């Protein structure tokens, strides 16, 4: 089977993670239990997860001219990710302060920095040059840049996968070139309210209606409940998540999207791709951190083989 090829047009962040038994309320200070820094950003997380499954991955991003930017280029290269389409600008790279409580629940503030300068023409060039099977993006970079990458993907026959996170309305020009929309529960509710009006009163009916209104295929991730797959014009399928003891949910959604992209790029059915994605996400929450929590390459390949249709 040919090696799946994926272009990720997305963000890089340096994660600054504080752990505490509970998260503070308004105006409150609590004493934490530990602190860690790591490599994150939704785009880079998804790229790393895909690369560990053995996919050929190219990353499109802009870094600052600081030490964080230099360290991140080295990090991506160490994962075997093509950094040809990475750029640097004066100023700060992106950072993400993260709080995690004893249940593994997290709160995140994203400070985009250089991620706001990812260029549309570079995204299009990357897709046209790398010739991927799947193009993936998120909302930590300008939507116009993602739209340019997706338009290029459409021209070469690639599948486009949009993870609308952090939650925001999808620009019409981006939606028009999106094949798969992959929100989590809160992101789905925001998009549904903007597109359909009001709050969802029946989850399943609203998901069906949203897919029809937006003319896209949908995967809605619902944490420990698993995910609902609704290919455009077809019946929905629930995919259960493996039962695990979660200690840190940071980056689990990105593990899901990276694995889903690998499944689609490998020619799997959407349901099979989501099965792999649920397994990768569930595995990641059993360890702390973002990319640090992902299965290493050997474990990821074993996971891939065990879920292959």
**Which residues are part of the catalytic machinery?**
254
The rounded distance, in Å, linking the Cα atoms of 257 and 75 is 20
Strands 159-162 and 86-89, sheet pairing: unpaired
Structure-block tokens of residue 233: 């014009």
The rounded distance, in Å, linking the Cα atoms of 100 and 105 is 6
SS3 content of the chain, % helix, strand, coil (to 5): 40, 20, 40
Q: What is the DSSP letter of 139?
A: S
SS3 132: coil
| Among 83, 93, 104, CA closest to 17 | 104
| Among 299, 268, 264, CA closest to 282 | 299
Structure-block tokens of residue 3: 């090696």
The rounded distance, in Å, linking the Cα atoms of 100 and 246 is 12
């Amino acid at each position: 089977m040919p090696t799946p090829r994926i272009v990720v047009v997305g963000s890089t962040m340096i994660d600054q993670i504080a752990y505490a038994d509970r998260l503070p309320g308004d105006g409150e200070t609590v004493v934490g239990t530990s602190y860690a820094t790591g490599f994150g950003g939704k785009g880079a997380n998804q790229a790393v997860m895909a690369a560990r499954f053995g996919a050929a991955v190219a990353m499109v991003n802009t870094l600052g001219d600081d030490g964080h930017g230099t360290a991140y280029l080295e990090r991506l290269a160490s994962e075997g990710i093509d950094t040809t389409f990475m750029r640097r600008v004066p100023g700060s790279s992106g950072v993400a302060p993260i709080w995690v409580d004893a249940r593994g629940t997290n709160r995140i503030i994203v400070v985009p920095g250089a991620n706001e300068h990812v260029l549309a023409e570079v995204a299009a060039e990357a897709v046209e040059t790398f010739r991927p099977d799947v193009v993936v993006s998120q909302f930590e970079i300008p939507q116009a840049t993602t739209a340019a990458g997706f338009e290029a993907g459409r021209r070469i026959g690639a599948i486009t996968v949009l993870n609308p996170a952090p939650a925001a309305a999808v620009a019409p020009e981006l939606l028009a070139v999106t094949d798969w929309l992959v929100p989590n529960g809160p992101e789905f509710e925001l998009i549904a309210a903007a597109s359909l009006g009001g709050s969802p009163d029946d989850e399943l009916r609203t998901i069906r209606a949203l897919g029809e209104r937006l003319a896209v295929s949908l995967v809605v991730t619902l944490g420990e409940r698993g995910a609902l797959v609704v290919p455009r014009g077809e019946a929905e399928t629930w995919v259960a998540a493996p039962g695990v003891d979660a200690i840190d949910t940071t980056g689990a959604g990105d593990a899901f999207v990276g694995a889903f992209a690998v499944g689609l790029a490998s020619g799997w059915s959407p349901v099979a791709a989501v099965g792999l994605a649920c397994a990768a996400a569930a595995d990641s929450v059993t360890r702390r951190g973002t990319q640090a929590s992902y299965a290493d390459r050997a474990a990821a390949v074993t996971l891939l083989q065990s879920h292959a249709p």
